[in-house]
Amino acid sequence: MRKSQIGLIAMLAAVTIVIAGCSRVGEDWKAAQAADTTEAYQDFLRQHPDSEYGVPAQERLKQLAEDRDWQAASKADTLDAYQQFVATHADGKWAQEARVRIENFQLSGGGQAPAAPGVTTAPAAASAATGMSAPAVKPSPAPAVTAAAAEKPTVKPAKKPAVKSAARPAGHAAGGHFAQLGAYTSKASAEAAWRKLGTRFPGQLKPLQPHYVVATSHGRHVVRLQVSLPSAQRVHELCARLKQQSQGCLPVG
């Protein structure tokens, strides 16, 4: 057999091996996609670490991990669970939905819980101080001074809300007094939520008209569901009743 024929046979054999290898990689990739599990993609990457499908396999693994974490956060349905999810998947496809749910938790009072220790700790410290012998007598005039000083600024807070309500362009409906009932990723979601809330609280919400206010939260648009009432007192009364039934409500006007 001539050398040229031997070389040709060897070249054909090499081409056949390459084609077979490519065919096997393609088949394994299709099998991994069909299974669409973390284990399947990890197994594919172990067998074909330098494959052209390596990048999409890694991306799919990342997405599956996010979906798994999102299911866990949704099942727990707590402020802490959603905050941990956002910390891990800040730019994921579920990140904005998690942020909206965080806002709703804070709306219902979950975000205000850390302020409570600050209020209760100060009196505790004061009572502890008064229990001491000599230094405890000196702080006693201090409340009288702070109380007198506090009487003067009481006029200013009355003016501040007026300034804020006049400059209420983003995140609030214009004019009047409003209560915010939730935040959503789209107007359709906000409208669906309004229908559900109307069914849950017909006595409180049936006479009211919804307002869908587009705002920006963490650089993305959200739609805040608000209702208008004739006075600030009515807003606070509505929020108090809804919060008694575990429904978030925040006075915004």
Residue 48: name the closest of 36, 62, 58 by CA: 58
Query: pLDDT, tens digit, for every residue of 180-191?
Result: 998 898 899 999
Residue 86 lies in a domain: no
Query: pLDDT, tens digit, for every residue of 89-148?
Result: 888 888 888 888 888 887 766 543 333 333 333 333 333 333 444 344 344 444 444 444
pLDDT value at position 16?
56
pLDDT value at position 72?
93
Query: pLDDT, tens digit, for every residue of 161-215?
Result: 433 333 343 455 555 799 999 889 889 999 999 999 999 999 999 899 999 999 8
- Which of residues 58, 76, 94 is at a domain's end? 76
Residue 112 lies in a domain: no
Total domain count for the chain? Answer: 2
Residue 52 lies in a domain: yes
User: Which residue has better confidence, 152 or 98?
Assistant: 98
> What is the extent of the structural domain holding 64?
3-76
- Which of residues 59, 76, 93 is at a domain's end? 76
The pTM of this model reads 0.51
Residue 211 lies in a domain: yes
Where does the pLDDT of residue 83 fall: very low under 50, low under 70, confident under 90, or very high at 90 and above?
A: confident
Residue 84 lies in a domain: no
- Which of residues 76, 101, 123 is at a domain's end? 76
Residue 212 lies in a domain: yes
Residue 9 lies in a domain: yes
Q: Which residues pair with 226 in a beta bridge?
A: 180, 211
Query: pLDDT, tens digit, for every residue of 24-47?
Result: 899 999 999 999 999 999 999 999
pLDDT value at position 197?
93
Q: Residue 92: which residues within 8 A CB-CB, separation 6 or more? A: 66, 70
Q: Are 179 and 249 in contact (CB under 8 A)?
A: yes
Residue 58 lies in a domain: yes
pLDDT value at position 103?
82
CATH of the domain at 210: 3.30.70.1070
Residue type, 14: A
